[in-house]
Amino acid sequence: MPDRGKWFRRTLCSLALLVSALAGAAQDCLDCHLASADQPVLAIQHSAHAALAGGGNEACRACHGDSAGHIAAPASSAPDFSFGPHWPMPAAEGGARCLTCHAGGEQLHWAGSAHAAADLACTDCHSLHRQSQLAPAPDPATSGCLTCHSEVRAELRLPSRHPIAEGKTACTDCHNPHGSPTPGELAAVTLNDTCFTCHSEKRGPFLWEHPPASEDCSLCHRPHGSVHPRLLTARGPALCQQCHAAAFHPSLPYGGEGVAGAAPNQNLLGKNCLNCHGQVHGSNHPSGARLTR
Ligand code: HEC
Ligand code: HEC
Ligand code: HEC
Ligand code: HEC
Ligand code: HEC
Ligand code: HEC
Ligand code: HEC
Ligand code: HEC
Ligand code: HEC
Ligand code: HEC
């Protein structure tokens, strides 16, 4: 099928050139780039970028540059900053143009972020000429992240999970897609602080702290989803036994003392450590030193 939008634009463009040549007037962006079905450029007039540099043709220049060469020979010469798709340009070059205005705030750590390192362009996530995608979320909870992160998509279906697919938690609640100084591009200054934005009751301080909980929630929890209940990395007692050996009271249910006929330890056999040590995140009870209450 012939590309009618293109045909229409080229014809219009030639006409405009002809008219302007006759009148001796210079052409500008909007004289040629009217809205058409395949190139909805004017939707930008309804976006946060409409009023850039006073609006109109000046708004176009704020991103695409003065583009004198392109105006003189539109079919063969690219605008100063084209962003593609007709004349593709390197991701970093396009990003640098956006960063002339967006270098601070949420984008402060773009340079050095995992996404910049992977050579993503701003336009991999943002669609500047589509009003609906300017705040770029087709689904506000997953923001288009899952088109690339299929490994996370799978985790969102596990039996225990953060309710992201259900729309109650969003990827951007925990991550800054523009990068951050925290490993994993997390939105807060530490992993635990990220969790505390919603689970503040786990912050403490507690009279009796459990060191791994104050140190790093991910010692025991997966962030997105898990086959174990409560997003745990392993089930108790195996979870606890990664760190606790058979000191004081034997904590190895499958050790020699737990084997049938070899005087099973009644504290442990068939029981979960949590039956007695329920306060694994820390306790405020005066006699909660062993996290039992
Ligand atoms: C905020 C920056 C920004 C402003 C302002 C802007 N553009 Fe764009 N433009 C882009 C980006 C980025 C692309 C690449 C396509 C996309 O959005 O992913 C693009 C793409 C285009 C395209 C190609 C579209 C296609 O689908 O083939 C045209 C034509 C265009 N812009 C013209 C204009 C005109 C005319 C104006 C002024 C009304 C303008 N632009 C204002 C950033 C901008
Ligand atoms: C004389 C007509 C004319 C003028 C004036 C003009 N353009 Fe274009 N522009 C074109 C044509 C023709 C194309 C070729 C692509 C096509 O057929 O869609 C194009 C393509 C583009 C593209 C697509 C780049 C890409 O890689 O996909 C952008 C962006 C663009 N113009 C921006 C501008 C801006 C910004 C201005 C003003 C500074 C401007 N144009 C002025 C006719 C014009
Ligand atoms: C000339 C300065 C300038 C340039 C260049 C520019 N922007 Fe913006 N941008 C703004 C202003 C001003 C706003 C509106 C105020 C704000 O939210 O900070 C804005 C808002 C945005 C928003 C939020 C929109 C919303 O609805 O809340 C996004 C996303 C964005 N810009 C992305 C980009 C991208 C991607 C580029 C490069 C293609 C770009 N900008 C280039 C000035 C600019
Ligand atoms: C991996 C996807 C992704 C990339 C790449 C990306 N963004 Fe964003 N951007 C988002 C998402 C998602 C939001 C919405 C954030 C939210 O809802 O908290 C956003 C929001 C924004 C906003 C508005 C929010 C604010 O206050 O900052 C601006 C401006 C912006 N991005 C600019 C950029 C620029 C400039 C680039 C390139 C240097 C870029 N983005 C690259 C996903 C991305
Ligand atoms: C266009 C594809 C694409 C999109 C869309 C995308 N990412 Fe990425 N992301 C990547 C690539 C490529 C990497 C670097 C390689 C890797 O670690 O998988 C990366 C890395 C990351 C990392 C760092 C991983 C690590 O090991 O430190 C996080 C976190 C991340 N992305 C989150 C997000 C979030 C949140 C969104 C949505 C706002 C998103 N991504 C959207 C492609 C994408
Ligand atoms: C409840 C907070 C939270 C939410 C919501 C969340 N993440 Fe994460 N994500 C994390 C934490 C914590 C890590 C581990 C960071 C580390 O240990 O370095 C992580 C790691 C990652 C990684 C690195 C690779 C991996 O799997 O460990 C990617 C990619 C990622 N997240 C993408 C996403 C995407 C996409 C979404 C939305 C579908 C999302 N995250 C939602 C907290 C979250
Ligand atoms: C944006 C808010 C938010 C953040 C940030 C957050 N969570 Fe959650 N978390 C939730 C919600 C909502 C639920 C579901 C609560 C419910 O169903 O009652 C939940 C549930 C949980 C559960 C129980 C899951 C189950 O199967 O019952 C655990 C464990 C958990 N979160 C750990 C974490 C950890 C660890 C972090 C930091 C990496 C974190 N959360 C960050 C909102 C958040
Ligand atoms: C030593 C392992 C361990 C560490 C570290 C840990 N948790 Fe837990 N967490 C558990 C266990 C075990 C459960 C299940 C308790 C139950 O089912 O009674 C749990 C349950 C939860 C729940 C759901 C039930 C509830 O109590 O609300 C949330 C939310 C939670 N943890 C958040 C966190 C946060 C936030 C951190 C970091 C501050 C953290 N956890 C650190 C072991 C741990
Ligand atoms: C990542 C390692 C780690 C994991 C996993 C872990 N703990 Fe701990 N736990 C510690 C450390 C370190 C201490 C502090 C020991 C000390 O002060 O001598 C501690 C202290 C305790 C104490 C108090 C002991 C005392 O001497 O005061 C109890 C009870 C306890 N943990 C139970 C559990 C239970 C139950 C689990 C499983 C849900 C668990 N722990 C998982 C590292 C861990
Ligand atoms: C039937 C209840 C019960 C079960 C099940 C249980 N414990 Fe205990 N545990 C206790 C009691 C009670 C104490 C405190 C004894 C005291 O203070 O004199 C204790 C003390 C501890 C201590 C402190 C030991 C020390 O040297 O000071 C650790 C660590 C501990 N338990 C870990 C575990 C682990 C890990 C499991 C699971 C493998 C587990 N416990 C299962 C009741 C239990």
Decide: 293 in ligand 6 pocket, CB within 6 A. Answer: no
| pTM exceeds 0.85 | yes
Measure 103 CA to ligand 3 centroid, in angstroms: 11
- H or E segment and range at residue 225: strand 225-226
- Residue 280's nearest CA partner among 223, 248, 239 is 239
* Residue 10 included in any domain: no
The pLDDT assigned to 258 comes to 44
254 is a domain residue: yes
Residue 16 covered by a domain = no
pLDDT at 288: 94
Domain around 253:
203-293
pLDDT at 184 over 60: yes
Termini Cα distance of the chain: 73
Residue 94 beta carbon below 6 angstroms from any ligand 2 atom? no
- Count of domains forming the chain: 1
DSSP, res 90: -
Q: How confident is the model at residue 134 (pLDDT cuts 50, 70, 90)?
A: very low
Confidence band for 55, pLDDT divided at 50, 70 and 90 = confident
Cα–Cα separations (whole angstroms), residue 205 to 96, 168, 211, 214, 248: 44, 27, 11, 9, 26
pLDDT at 254: 47
Structural contact between residues 36 and 51, judged by C-beta atoms closer than 8 angstroms = no
pLDDT at position 90 over 90: yes
Contact 252, 169 (CB under 8 A): no
Interatomic CA distance for residues 13 and 233, integer angstroms: 62
Q: Give, in order, the Cα–Cα distances in Å from 137 to each of 47, 128, 131, 145, 288.
A: 15, 12, 11, 9, 46
Q: Is the CB of 202 under 6 A from ligand 8?
A: yes
* Span of 63-72, 98-107, 122-131, 257-266 with lowest mean pLDDT: 257-266
Which token pair is 129?
């000429």
Residue 209 is predicted with a pLDDT of 97
Query: Average pLDDT of the chain?
Result: 84
Helix or strand run (H / E) with residue 196: helix 191-196
Backbone phi and psi for residue 223, each to the nearest 5 degrees, phi listed first: -75, -35
Pocket of ligand 7 (CB under 6 A): 160, 162-163, 168-169, 173-174, 191, 194-195, 197-199, 217, 221, 223, 229-231
Q: Is residue 161 part of a domain?
A: no
Sole residue written with tokens 């689904």: 139
Residue 215 lies in a domain: yes
pLDDT digits (tens, 9 = 90+) for 225-281: 999 999 999 987 889 988 887 555 555 444 554 445 555 455 544 567 888 899 999
DSSP 144-190: TGGGT-HHHHHHTTSSEE-TTTTTSS-HHHHB-TT--SSGGGBSSSS
- Ligand 1, atom 14: nearest CA belongs to which residue? 83
pLDDT at 92: 94
Residue 53 lies in a domain: no
How far apart are the CA of 63 and the centre of ligand 1, in A?
A: 8
Does 210 reside within a domain? yes
Among 106, 149, 172, 218, the mutation site with the greatest number of ligand 5 atoms within 8 A of its Cβ is 149
Per-residue pLDDT at 99 exceeds 90: yes
Q: Residue 259 has what pLDDT?
A: 47
188 pLDDT above the threshold of 90: yes
Position 4 pLDDT exceeds 70: no
What is the residue with the minimal CA distance to atom 21 of ligand 6? Answer: 184
Contact call for residues 170 and 237 (beta carbons, < 8 A): no
Q: How far is the CA of 159 from the centre of ligand 4 (A)?
A: 31
pLDDT band at 56 (very low <50, low <70, confident <90, very high): confident
Q: Is residue 122 part of a domain?
A: no
Phi/psi for 90 (5° steps) reads -60, 140
